[in-house]
Amino acid sequence: MTQTLPSTKIYARLENVGVRYGPKVVMQNLSLDIVEGAITCIIGLSGAGKSTILRLLNGLRRPDEGRVLVGDQDISTLHERELIVIREKIGFSFQFAALFDSLSIFDNVALPLRERTAMSELEIKSHVEETLDSVGLATVGERFPAELSGGMVKRAGFARAVIANPHAVLYDEPTTGLDPIITHVLTDLIIRLRARLNGTAVVVSHDLESIYQMADYVAMLFEGAIIAYGTVDEIKASLNPIVQQFIQGSEVGPIPI
Amino acid sequence: MSVLEDLGRETTGFFSYAGGAALLLADCARFIGKLRIRVNETIEQAYNLGVQSWGIVLLTSLCTGMVFALESANQAVAYGVGNLVGGAVAFTMARELGPMLSAVVVAGRSGAAISAELGSMVVTEQIEALQSLGLSPTRMLVVPRLVALVVMLPILTVFADIVSIIGGAYIANVFAHVSNESFINSARASVPFIDVCKGLLKSVVFAVIIAIVGSYSGLQTRGGAAGVGKATTSAVVIAIILIFIFNFALSYILFPQ
Q: List residues of B whose CB lies inside 8 A of any A CB.
A: 124-126, 128-129, 131-136, 140
Torsion A244-A247-A249-A254 (CA) sign: positive
Helices B143-176 and B54-78, packing angle to 10 deg? 30
Sheet holding A24-35, edge to edge: A24-35, A10-21, A65-70, A73-74
Which chain A residues are Cβ-neighbours of B140 within 8 angstroms? 115
> In whole angstroms, what is the distance from residue B199 CA to residue A67 CA?
53
Q: What is the pLDDT of residues A224-243, one digit of tens each?
A: 999 999 999 999 999 999 99
Residue ranges for chain B with pLDDT beneath 50:
none
Residue A204: per-residue pLDDT: 96
Which chain A residues are Cβ-neighbours of B133 within 8 angstroms? 87, 92, 111-112, 115-116, 160
Residue A256: per-residue pLDDT: 82
Q: A224 and A28 in contact (C-beta within 8 Å)?
A: yes
Provide the 3-class DSSP secondary structure of residue B178: coil
Residue B9: per-residue pLDDT: 87
Q: Any alpha helices (H) in chain A, and if so which ranges?
A: 50-57, 80-87, 105-116, 121-134, 150-162, 180-197, 208-214, 232-236, 241-248
Looking at CA atoms only, how far is residue B174 from chain A in angstroms?
49
Residue A7: per-residue pLDDT: 52
Residue B141: per-residue pLDDT: 97
Phi-psi region of A61 (alpha: psi -120 to 50; beta: other; left: phi over 0): beta
State mean pLDDT over A207-231: 94
State mean pLDDT over A150-167: 93
Phi-psi region of B96 (alpha: psi -120 to 50; beta: other; left: phi over 0): alpha
CB–CB contacts below 8 A, A to B: 52
Looking at CA atoms only, how far is residue A31 from chain B in angstroms?
23
Helices A150-162 and A121-134, packing angle to 10 deg? 130
A166 — phi, psi (to 5°)? -70, 160
> In whole angstroms, what is the distance from residue B257 CA to residue B250 CA?
13
Looking at CA atoms only, how far is residue B140 from chain A in angstroms?
9
Annotate B51-79 with three-state secondary structure: HHHHHHHHHHHHHHHHHHHHHHHHHHHHC
Confidence label for A164 from pLDDT (cuts 50, 70 and 90):
very high
Residue A191 to residues A248, B8, B10, B184, Cα–Cα distance (Å): 25, 52, 50, 76
Residue A5: per-residue pLDDT: 53
Q: Is the model's pLDDT at A72 over the cut of 60?
A: yes
Q: A40 and A215 in contact (C-beta within 8 Å)?
A: yes
Taking only Cα atoms into account, the Rg of chain A, rounded to an integer number of angstroms, comes to 18
Residue B109: per-residue pLDDT: 96
Nearest to B134 among A96, A100, A116 (CB): A116
Which residue in A has a C-alpha nearest to residue B141's C-alpha? A100
Q: A164 and A116 in contact (C-beta within 8 Å)?
A: yes
Residue A152: per-residue pLDDT: 93
Residue B1: per-residue pLDDT: 60
